[in-house]
Amino acid sequence: MNSAEVITALLGTGGGSVLIIQLVKGIRGWVSGRAGRDRERDATVENQRINAIAERDRAWEDLAAAIVDTRKAHEYSSQLRRQLFEAGIPPIDWPTK
């Protein structure tokens, strides 16, 4: 055997060994039930991520609705203030803390 054949044989054996080790790990995890638990954990984490995104989106929608409501209240108070001016009622001082 020349050196090229020896190197090829060693590399091939090493690659085959890694494959066999991974197969044994996978089968051991499947038999022990670890694979199922890992799959459930991953699904739980994914559900948590989805729920967090939905909660964030609802919070943004609530904020947008609150901003619209606040703007409407400001517009309404402005209209009332203008009507008081037009009716000849003097304005009151702005409240201060």
> How close are the terminal C-alpha atoms of the chain, in Å?
96
Q: Determine what percent of the chain falls in helix, strand and coil, rounding each to the nearest 5.
A: 85, 0, 15
Structural domain range at position 74: 37-97
pTM: 0.47
- What pLDDT score does 27 carry? 77
Clarify whether residues 51 and 78 are in a common domain: yes
pLDDT band at 70 (very low <50, low <70, confident <90, very high): very high
pLDDT of residue 36: 72
pLDDT of residue 92: 79
Q: How many domains does the chain have?
A: 2
Same domain for 45 and 85, yes or no, is: yes
pLDDT value, residue 1: 62
Looking at the structure, tell me whether residues 10 and 48 fall in a common domain: no
- Whether residues 42 and 27 share a domain: the answer is no
- Could you tell me what percent of the chain has a pLDDT over 70? 77
